[in-house]
Amino acid sequence: MSEKQNMKPKVATDFIKFNSRRSTVYSTKGMVASSQALANHAGIKVLSKGGNCVDAAIAVSAALCVVEPGSTGIGGDCFSLYYKRETKEVHGLNGTGRSAKNLTIQDICDCYNNGQPMKRIPPESVLTVNVPGAVAGWVDSFEKWGSGNVTLEEILEPATSLAEEGFPVCDIASRLWQSAEDKLKKQNPDSKIIENMFLFGNAAPKEGDFVTNKPLAEAFRVIAKGGKDGFYKGPIAEAIIRETSSRDHKLDLNDLATHTSTVVNPIKTQFQDYKVWEIPPNGQGLVALLALGIIQQLHKSGKIDLYKLKHNSAEYFHVLIEATKIAFYDSDEYVTDPEFSKIPLDDLLSESYLQERAELFNKDKILDSSVIKHGVPNPKYKSDTVYLAVTDSNGDACSFINSVYDDFGSGIAVPDYGFCLHNRGANFNLTPELQNCFEGGKRPYHTIIPSLITNVEDDSLFAAFGNMGGYMQPVGQVQHVLNLCIFGFTPQQLIDLPRFCLNATKDKIDSDRGRGSDGPVSTAVTEVALEDGIDSSVVEELSKLGHTTKVVTGYNRKIFGRAQIIQDASKDGQLIYAAGSDLRGDGAATPFF
């Protein structure tokens, strides 16, 4: 009997303190999982018209722009992974935007620091606004991998109707909306601009409030008719540039008109009997693959036994925490725009390099942050993103993520079209010798990452999954991979499990090293946030190992992100999908039949 066949969950039956009371959802024809149930039905509508998982994913993403605008929008970016059962191939698309070509570091320093050097762009600055890549990502995915059975107009129709006719706001979305109310008012002094788009009676909506966004409905109609040109040329583009130019940004119409998505070759690593797939840099999927590779090497070397680790024990958490910290050190050096820097991906994911990085692990204490640096291979937390997964009756899967970065992105609204512009440029650093340093026309380090798992044995689909939430995303993915592939939890069980995440410490402004992005290892001390439900004795043991810990309860648990997963659970030739959706969000897994 193989290790895989012998695996069983090594936890008590009452392991879930915060059980969502949801069951894993099953279907034989298709599945949609996202953070908003209304958005799921947009995908179901498209599947019912003969659309495939890619068509439906775009419909869900568009609907999420309406019902969860604090997390996503057409003013943001996207990534997608597409698994095609017929060929057993995984395809990828980078739908992220680039910075203004004519903007310079000196412009930024002149604007905010009297011309003196700075480490990063202030997160609410208009200068963090890059070209929004999401719409091009949608259209390019539709044209390249769509079924051909539905039109772009049919795909966007559910979102258009939601925006035009209105919807009641859900609990978690309303909380995020209310927390951003002051930001929206500050960033848009003329309150008329955002009234009946994001504020209603000059206030953010509460749970159950019925709202519309008719300007966004109009934007969808323009995009449905004109495709990419409808967004990147013409009245929407002109409205974007009018708004950014009025705030002294150098983003221009040419930046928008020349924007392109990039079809990419996904990167992968083997973890036990599975291949885990990610989008390559400028996405941070590399973090998850490096961490999993390091854990795999620790198992191979005998330093740990993956099948004897007690789930959510101090030993277990220590392994995952240290592996992801090492991975973040490497990502701060190597996650950047590959059009500007050569990234040695094959070498970074090679067994020899992962062995070298695994040697840094010490089971008795934490890594010394003053000593550890990124590796040099031999040549050869925010939760303001939406992740969704869709599978169809063909056995194909789409793992898709869309984001405006911070709450409502920059908070800067585009008049007449119902969306805010993202602030992804905040992920650049301003240290010239580093690879993720700002340059005009460059893509920054991106936190959003979709993922897929296939079986090594026959390259069949095992799962499509993701865990939105800034730098929590690779940390969450690593935990989900182990929970699914080692401990054998069902999709809903593993999503309900309490998690940990890594954060930069509160003195970040003073101790920011200015490297990479502003992630968990950007400060001298990395804080380990542990979700309520993890045993207090485990917290104490982690503190003894040197970890700076914090237990997070209540609504603050949003820092652990919101996960969605669809697993291929086929048996005896019958296509079966099993899915789960996060209790930390408003969403659900919705079967298609």
> Does some domain include residue 110?
no
CB 327 within 8 A of CB 288: yes
> Does some domain include residue 216?
no
Structure tokens of 129? 């606004």
**How many residues are given for the chain?**
593
Task: Please give the backbone phi and psi of residue 582, each rounded to the nearest 5 degrees, phi first.
Answer: -75, 130
Q: Which residues of the chain have pLDDT under 70?
A: 1-20, 370-384, 506-523
Q: In angstroms, rounded to a whole number, what is the distance separating the alpha carbons of residues 350 and 361?
A: 18
> Does some domain include residue 239?
no
- Measuring CA to CA, how many Å separate 427 from each of 151, 187, 241, 424, 505? 35, 19, 22, 6, 17
Residue 554, judged by CB atoms within 10 A of its CB (0-12, 13-18, 19+), counts as exposed
Crossing angle for the helix pair 152-165 and 53-67, to the nearest 10 degrees: 20
Q: Residue 14 contacts by C-beta under 8 Å, 6 or more apart in sequence?
A: none
> Does some domain include residue 173?
no
Full domain range(s) for residue 276: 265-381+450-567
Query: Residue 467 is which amino acid?
Result: N
Q: pLDDT tens, 427-438? A: 999 999 889 999
DSSP string, 35-101: SBHHHHHHHHHHHHTT--HHHHHHHHHHHHHHH-TTT--TTSEEEEEEEETTTTEEEEEEE-----T
CB 480 within 8 A of CB 467: yes
Query: Residue 264 is which amino acid?
Result: V
How many degrees, rounded to 5, is the angle at CA 347 between CA 343 and CA 350? Answer: 140
Bridge-based pairing state of the strands 77-84 and 274-278: unpaired
pLDDT of residue 433: 86
> Does some domain include residue 139?
no
> Does some domain include residue 82?
no
CB 402 within 8 A of CB 74: no
pLDDT of residue 510: 45
pLDDT of residue 515: 53
Q: In angstroms, rounded to a whole number, what is the distance separating the alpha carbons of residues 202 and 196?
A: 9
Q: In angstroms, rounded to a whole number, what is the distance separating the alpha carbons of residues 87 and 421?
A: 38
Q: What is the CATH number of the domain that holds 330?
A: 1.10.246.130
Domain count, the chain: 1
Residue 109, judged by CB atoms within 10 A of its CB (0-12, 13-18, 19+), counts as middle
pLDDT of residue 21: 74
Structure tokens of 318? 């220590």
> Does some domain include residue 510?
yes
Q: 416-426 b/e with 16+ CB inside 10 Å = b?
A: ebbbbbbbbbb
Residue 76 bridge partners (DSSP) = none
End-to-end CA distance of the chain: 36
DSSP string, 225-258: HHHHHHHHSSHHHHHHHHHHHTTT----HHHHHT
Q: In angstroms, rounded to a whole number, what is the distance separating the alpha carbons of residues 247 and 107?
A: 13
H-state helical runs in 336-441: 345-348, 351-358
Q: pLDDT tens, 157-204? A: 999 999 999 999 999 999 999 999 999 999 999 989 999 999 999 999
**SS3 (DSSP) at 397:** strand
Residue 16, judged by CB atoms within 10 A of its CB (0-12, 13-18, 19+), counts as middle
> Does some domain include residue 360?
yes
Q: In angstroms, rounded to a whole number, what is the distance separating the alpha carbons of residues 303 and 284?
A: 27
Structure tokens of 396? 């194909």
CB 550 within 8 A of CB 579: no
CB 388 within 8 A of CB 330: no
